[in-house]
């Protein structure tokens, strides 16, 4: 009961914050990976979350809570990759809806028996080690939910601050590149490059891998465009 009340209080406070911020909404500059990628960074981490977000507003007030995280760490110097995946036991919104079970293929028992948000994020921090990383997701929702989970639980985890400081929303960068006024799905970005989605959609690790695949194709495209521009300028 205490958790549920804390959840409602969190929602009310953030609704007030959002209402205030919407009044002075402005267009934010899109920060690109290369804008941030200086020589001090050794790796790029592509990550994705799955969330337990009830489709009944009275149950969770539209606030998502992390139930799994997947990440692919790409070491820039060697181009090697390593994976991270974990299911997370939510604190407040811990009963999964049938829709979320269908989307994620995660079972209620798996989530119930999983480690807590704090335990998993500390393990993620250990996996990152002392490397200087850029953290990339497809869209702004993942970082928003991570920050919300950290805040609601009263944590001040260093890894969350590190992710926030070095975060890139690659969906925005890719949409700007495609000159699209609408958000492009990860699957449609792959389709543009004539690449099939590998694995299962809404599996956090599979989504992270496919995000990395889009980035590689995008990078190849940018290199090609730049080479053409250089040829034409001679």
pLDDT attached to residue 60: 44
| CA distances in angstroms from 46 to 61, 69, 116, 177, listed in the order given | 28, 11, 22, 19
Per-residue pLDDT at 143: 96
Q: CB–CB of 140/170 below 8 Å? A: no
CA triplet 8, 14, 15: central angle to 5 degrees? 85
- When pLDDT is cut at 50, 70 and 90, the band that residue 1 belongs to is very low
pLDDT tens for each residue of 186-219: 999 999 999 999 999 999 999 999 999 999 999 9
Report d(CA 33, CA 36) in Å as an integer.
Answer: 5
pTM for the full model? 0.86
Q: Rounded mean pLDDT of 83-93? A: 94
pLDDT for 16 beyond 80:
no
The whole-number average pLDDT for the span 26-50 is 89
User: Tokens representing 3?
Assistant: 């958790």
Write out the H or E segment, with its range, that includes residue 41.
none
Own/partner long-range contacts of 127-133 (Cβ < 8 Å, ≥24 apart): 127/71, 127/73, 127/82, 127/84, 128/45, 128/73, 128/159, 128/162, 131/42, 131/43, 131/73, 132/40, 132/41, 132/42, 132/43, 132/166, 133/41, 133/42, 133/43, 133/44, 133/45, 133/73, 133/162, 133/166
- Write down the pLDDT at residue 229: 72
As to burial, measured by CB atoms within 10 angstroms (0-12 exposed, 13-18 middle, 19+ buried), residue 217 is middle
Show the tokens assigned to 153.
């639980």
Residue-range domain boundaries for the chain: 2-232
Instruction: Name residue 167's beta-bridge partners.
Output: 135
Look at the domain 2-232 and name its fold: Nucleotidyltransferase; domain 5 (3.30.420)
For residue 15, is pLDDT > 60?
A: no
DSSP state of 49: E
DSSP per-residue string spanning 123-137: HHHHHHTT--EEEEE
pLDDT at residue 56 in the model: 47
**In the predicted model, what is the mean pLDDT of the chain?**
88
As beta bridge partners, residue 68 has 50, 87
Give the model's pLDDT for residue 94: 86
């Amino acid at each position: 009961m205490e958790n549920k009340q804390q959840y409602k209080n969190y929602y009310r406070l953030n609704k007030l914050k959002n209402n205030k911020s919407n009044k002075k909404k402005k267009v934010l500059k899109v920060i690109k990976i290369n804008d941030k990628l200086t020589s001090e960074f050794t790796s790029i981490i592509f990550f994705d979350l799955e969330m337990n977000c009830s489709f009944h507003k009275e149950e969770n007030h539209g606030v998502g809570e992390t139930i799994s995280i997947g990440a692919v760490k790409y070491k820039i110097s060697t181009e090697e990759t390593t994976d991270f995946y974990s299911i997370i036991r939510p604190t407040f919104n811990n009963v999964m809806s049938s829709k979320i079970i269908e989307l994620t293929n995660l079972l209620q028992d798996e989530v119930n028996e999983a480690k807590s948000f704090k335990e998993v994020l500390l393990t993620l921090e250990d996996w990152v080690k002392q490397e200087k990383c850029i953290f990339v997701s497809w869209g702004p929702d993942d970082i928003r939910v991570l920050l919300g989970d950290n805040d609601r639980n009263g944590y001040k985890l260093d890894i969350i601050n590190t992710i926030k400081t070095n975060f890139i929303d690659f969906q925005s960068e890719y949409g700007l590149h495609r000159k699209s006024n609408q958000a492009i799905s990860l699957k449609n970005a792959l389709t543009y490059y004539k690449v099939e989605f590998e694995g299962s959609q809404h599996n956090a690790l599979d989504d992270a891998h496919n995000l990395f695949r889009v980035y590689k194709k995008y990078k190849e495209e940018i290199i090609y465009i730049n080479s053409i521009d250089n040829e034409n300028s001679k």
